[in-house]
């Protein structure tokens, strides 16, 4: 007989609509949760504290795990924050968010573990504090996270985000329909972010100008989203993609999907997340979603998700 868990927690995936990479350097960015894909954590009574990641075939003994193990780090951070000893729990993690694909799987897994632990402890924690704990784990995944991934998966709302600041209230006036297509090429955030860092060090003026361009696009996009001017977002996505290409974080696979989406009638398309592989997003109207989905599949997408950001998405 299947044992019922003591507690459960979950968290969504995420997409970055505008501003990836530049957000690491203090420019604003816009991100939204993707609720169709989620990470989950189930807690069962046990003798010791372990985390089992079923999909990754990993089992971590928290008391003896190295300091840089992300699962053990999240468990310890929650215990420290609540001033509790390590509990005798088996924490089972599952996720249908593709890994290293720009959809925030690492942050979502940490957030799911945190949420399940809070329920099992019967404790509450403000979202800002849970987000800060997930941020600590994100630092293990890549050294200089902006904090946007942990913020959007913990708040589960579209966010206007500037590094080091709390997320700002942000109204979505009309629904935004997007397709999310996966190149199937894994791309760890750490590598793309590290490459951009080295390129920025070598040619700081050029990269600062690219980041400024991205920041301006994000500001225009926010104004358009708040005004319900969804058609204006297409050209802004294309302009953001052009700047990302010039940063060196696009890839032939991403370019192929972006071109296919635009040719099939998408209003705009860009990579989403760290780039080099992972996922791209395309802005579509109801009437072209099926045609663009077909074109993305024909161009090699291994998976196409349809999502929409809804007007009640107010933080
Ligand atoms: C990753 O989802 C987004 C990046 O801007 C990195 C970050 O913000 O930490 C590439």
Least trusted range by pLDDT, from 118-122, 125-129, 265-269, 310-314: 310-314
Q: How far apart are CA 171 and CA 225, in angstroms?
A: 7
Instruction: Kindly state whether residue 101 falls inside one of the protein's structural domains.
Output: yes
Is 149 a residue of the active site?
yes
Higher pLDDT, 3 or 89: 89
Over range 272-300, report the average pLDDT: 96
Indicate if 142 and 257 belong to the same structural domain. Answer: no
**Count of the separate structural domains present in the chain:** 2
pLDDT value of position 51: 98
Residue 315 lies in a domain: no
CA 125 to ligand 1 center in whole angstroms: 25
148 touches ligand 1 (CB under 6 Å): yes
The yes-or-no verdict on residue 212 having pLDDT over 90 is: yes
The residue among 141, 169, 197 that closes a domain is: 169
Assess whether 181 and 72 both reside in one domain. Answer: no
**Which regions of 117-197 does DSSP assign to beta strands (E)?**
159-161, 176-182
- Is the same domain home to 155 and 237? no
**pLDDT the model gives residue 55:** 83
Q: Are residues 146 and 107 in the same domain?
A: yes
What is the rounded average pLDDT of the residues 101-109? 92
- Assess contact for 44 and 5: CB atoms under 8 A: yes
Both 24 and 144 in one domain: the answer is yes
3-state secondary structure 284-297: CCHHHHHHHHHHHH
Q: Which residues pair with 13 in a beta bridge?
A: 34
Check pLDDT > 80 for residue 128.
Answer: yes
Mean pLDDT of the chain: 95
Instruction: Return the number of other C-beta atoms located less than 10 Å from residue 255's C-beta.
Output: 16
31 pocket-lining for ligand 1 (C-beta < 6 Å): no
Residue 251 lies in a domain: yes
Atom of ligand 1 nearest to the CA of 148: 8
Please say if the pLDDT value at position 275 is more than 70.
Answer: yes
Q: How confident is the model at residue 314 (pLDDT cuts 50, 70, 90)?
A: very low
Ligand 1 in contact with 9 (CB < 6 A)? no
When pLDDT is cut at 50, 70 and 90, the band that residue 313 belongs to is very low
Mutate to test the pocket of ligand 1, among 22, 273, 281 (most ligand atoms within 8 A of CB): 273
Asked, for residue 314, whether it belongs to a domain, the answer is no
Average pLDDT, stretch 100-120? 94
Buried b (16+ CB within 10 A) or exposed e, 99-119: ebbbbbbbbbbbbbbbbbbbb
Quick one: 16 and 155 in the same domain? yes
Residue percentage of the chain with pLDDT more than 90? 88
Judge if 137 and 267 occupy the same domain.
Answer: no
In a domain, 222, yes or no: yes
Question: Residue 151 belongs to what domain range?
Answer: 7-169
Q: How confident is the model over 165-174, as pLDDT tens digits?
A: 998 867 899 9
Which residue owns the Cα nearest ligand 1 atom 1?
A: 273
Q: Is the CB of 13 under 6 A from ligand 1?
A: no
Among 69, 149, 182, 288, which one carries the catalytic annotation? 149
CATH of residue 298's domain is: 3.30.70.890
Query: Where among 169, 195, 211 does a domain terminate?
Result: 169
Query: Does residue 128 sit in the same domain as residue 192?
Result: no
The whole-number average pLDDT for the span 214-229 is 97
- Tokens describing residue 97: 């968010």
> Residue 39: inside a domain, yes or no?
yes
Taking the C-alpha atoms of residue 270 and residue 221, their distance in angstroms, rounded to an integer, is: 14
Protein residue with least CA distance to atom 9, ligand 1: 145
Strand-pair partners of 51? 60, 91
Q: Kindly give the distance from the C-alpha atom of residue 273 to the centroid of ligand 1, in angstroms, as a whole number.
A: 6
Evaluate: CB of 153 within 6 angstroms of ligand 1.
no
In which residue are the tokens 């509450």 written? 124
Instruction: Please tell me whether residues 69 and 26 are part of one structural domain.
Output: yes
The CA 146 to ligand 1 mean position distance, Å, reads: 6
CA of 278 to the centre of ligand 1 (A): 13
Q: Domain holding 14: CATH number?
A: 3.30.230.10
| Same domain, residue pair 43 and 159 | yes
């Amino acid at each position: 007989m299947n044992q019922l868990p003591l507690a459960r927690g979950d968290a969504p995936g995420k997409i970055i609509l505008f501003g990836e990479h530049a957000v690491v350097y203090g420019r604003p960015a816009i991100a939204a949760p993707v609720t169709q894909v989620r990470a989950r954590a189930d807690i069962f009574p046990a003798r010791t504290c372990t985390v089992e990641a079923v999909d990754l075939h990993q089992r971590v003994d928290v008391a003896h795990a190295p300091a840089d193990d992300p699962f053990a780090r999240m468990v310890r951070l929650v215990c420290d924050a609540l001033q509790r000893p390590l509990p005798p729990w088996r924490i089972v993690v599952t996720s249908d968010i593709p890994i290293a694909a720009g959809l925030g799987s690492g942050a979502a897994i940490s957030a799911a573990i945190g949420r399940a632990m809070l329920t099992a402890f019967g404790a509450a924690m403000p979202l800002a504090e849970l987000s800060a704990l997930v941020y600590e784990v994100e630092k293990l995944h890549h050294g200089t996270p902006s904090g946007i991934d942990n913020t959007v998966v913990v708040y589960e709302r579209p966010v206007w985000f500037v590094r080091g600041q709390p997320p700002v209230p942000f109204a979505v006036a009309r629904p935004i329909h997007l397709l999310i297509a996966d190149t199937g090429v894994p791309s760890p955030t750490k590598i793309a972010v590290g490459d951009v860092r080295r390129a920025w060090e070598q040619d700081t003026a050029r990269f600062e100008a690219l980041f400024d361009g991205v920041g301006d696009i994000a500001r225009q996009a926010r104004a358009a989203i708040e005004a319900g001017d969804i058609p204006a977002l297409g050209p802004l996505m294309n302009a953001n993609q052009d700047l990302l290409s010039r940063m060196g974080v696009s890839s032939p696979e991403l370019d192929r999907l972006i071109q296919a989406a635009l040719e099939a009638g998408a209003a705009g398309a860009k990579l989403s997340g760290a780039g080099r592989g992972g996922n791209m997003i395309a802005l579509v109207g109801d009437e072209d979603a099926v045609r663009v989905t077909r074109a993305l599949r024909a161009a090699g997408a291994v998976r196409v998700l349809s999502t929409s950001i809804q007007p009640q998405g107010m933080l």
